[in-house]
Amino acid sequence: MPAWIRDAWLSGLVLSTLVAAGCAMPSAAPSTTSAPPAHAHVPGDHNHAKGKMPMATDGTYDALLTAHLSAKDGNEPDIFVENKDGPFALRATTMEATARGAASQHTASFACAPANERPAGETSGTCSHFVAKAPWLRVGELLRVEAMLPADKPVLITSRDFEARTYAHHEE
């Protein structure tokens, strides 16, 4: 039998054995011109940093978390709401959040920051900067902070591994 016939016969035998065993031939490498699959941005998956603040986002709204640390007046976490154009005033003046540490859980009631701490021109009944009193907020404790952003369609925002001193915008 000529070698070329024997080689073709053996190749066919190997191929039929692979097919019978349920194996498939390796597929061609994917095209490098195809677009990557769409990625749904889930706020709880991870946080990005924006300056000294962790930022949770749903792709439309960004929520930035920071802290004002004061031994005299008490510690205050702050939430800044933005969209692609900058500060974004929600049609709400309050927001609730839950902060979970390794051995603790606390609730924080956020309200609009004083007008002089918000962007000029923010109309009454709206807010882009929320602040809460948090006497339980301790330097060194890692927290997972979750809040339902009161947007037109409520958005869950999550800041993971928030540590007050690391992300403080002011300390006195």
Using CA atoms, how far apart are residues 29 and 68, in angstroms rounded to an integer?
A: 53
Residue 84 domain-assigned? yes
Tens-place pLDDT, residues 79-131: 999 999 999 999 999 999 999 999 999 999 999 999 999 999 999 999 999 99
Asked if residue 26 is part of any domain, the answer here is no
Residue 135 in any domain: the answer is yes
Percent of the chain with pLDDT over 90: 51
Q: What pLDDT, on a 0 to 100 scale, did the predictor assign at position 22?
A: 45
Domain residues for the domain of 59 are 48-171
CATH number of the structural domain spanning residue 126 = 2.60.40
Instruction: Provide the number of structural domains found in the chain.
Output: 1
Whether residue 37 lies inside any domain: the answer is no
Strand spans (E) along the chain? 48-50, 53-57, 62-69, 76-83, 86-87, 94-100, 105-112, 129-131, 143-149, 155-162, 168-171
Position 73 in a domain: yes
**Type and span of the H or E element at 15:** helix 3-20
Q: Does residue 111 lie within any of the structural domains?
A: yes
In a domain, 34, yes or no: no
The predicted pLDDT at position 38 comes to 53
Neighbours of 131 (CB within 10 A): 21
Alpha-carbon span 92 to 147, nearest angstrom: 14
